[in-house]
Structure formats: structure tokens, C-alpha cells
Amino acid sequence: MTATGKPIDVLLVEDDPGDELMTREAFEDNKIRNTLHVVRDGEQALDFLYQRGDHTDSPRPDLILLDLNLPKYDGRQVLEKIKSDPELSHIPVVVLTTSSAEEDILRSYRLHANAYVTKPVDLDQFIRAVKQIDEFFVQVVRLPTR
């Protein structure tokens, strides 16, 4: 929720059901009342963002949590598309992935990711990381009003 108490829409782009479940648990455990929308691949992410196909009524997300290793379009392709589109480029994108490879980190920032977080393997640490992302992007910084 924003400083004004308004919930935000968070788009989680994640193909691993276990990581989706951990993210949902993190939202519940931390009493995060933001709305979590989930898509499972890069193509669905772009459909959600451009309100196409099954996602014609999808809200424009206020924050995107993006995995890199996705089917169809990988996270790098999705990130590049988001940040090169003037209609989407203002949306903060947090790369949330298992990769700690320096080339993935560098490439993500070159593609204008707003943050890069390596997913902790431990559930408690994962929950803590999601809470910190929420606190920073929702409570600390100001997000643009559409």
C-alpha cells in the first residue's frame, strides 16, 4: 500500500509454482494488502501489460516482479520491451531471479531494471526479501500516478 493507504497492483512474472507460492505467502505473512497478479511466461506478461487476449481487463501494474528465466519470451526480452515503451517505461521493474551471475545483473541494469534481487533459497529469507521490496517501492519511494 502507498503512504496514502491505497493498495497497488503488483505483477509477478514467474513460471515456477513454488516461487509463486512463496511470494503469495510473503504477501500474506507480511500483511501486504497490495493486489498480486501472476502470469507464467513472457508472452502472458506482455499480454497483461498491453491488455490483450485473456488480459483485456487487467489493470496497469504499479510494480513488476520479473523472473529472468521464463518460457516463450525470457525476462530480459520482457524487460527490454517494457523499458523501451513510453507507455510502460515508468513502471518499476524488480528482477527477482535465482541467477546471481554477474552478466545477468549487468545486462538487467543496462536494460534499465530498477533493482536486481537474487531469490533466497530459504523461505524466511525469501519472505523477508519480498517484504523489503514492498516496503521500499511502496512505502519509501513515490511511484508515478498513472
Residue 77 falls inside a structural domain: yes
pLDDT digits (tens, 9 = 90+) for 111-145: 999 999 999 888 889 888 988 888 888 778 766 66
Give the residue numbers spanning the domain of 33: 9-136
Distances in Å between the Cα of 4 and the Cα atoms of 11, 111, 112, 140, 143 are 20, 31, 27, 12, 12
pLDDT at 4: 53
Residue 3 falls inside a structural domain: no
Name the strands in the sheet holding 93-97, side by side, starting at the edge strand that comes first in the sequence.
Answer: 35-39, 9-13, 63-66, 93-97, 115-118
Residue 146 falls inside a structural domain: no
Cα gap 117→5, rounded to integer Å: 26
Overall domain count for the chain: 1
For a pLDDT cut of 90, what percent of the chain falls above it?
Answer: 64
Higher-scoring residue by pLDDT: 113, 4: 113
Residue 4 falls inside a structural domain: no
Residue 44 falls inside a structural domain: yes
Q: Output the domain CATH number for residue 63.
A: 3.40.50.2300
pLDDT at 67 exceeding the cut of 90:
yes
Residue 129 falls inside a structural domain: yes
Residue 83 falls inside a structural domain: yes
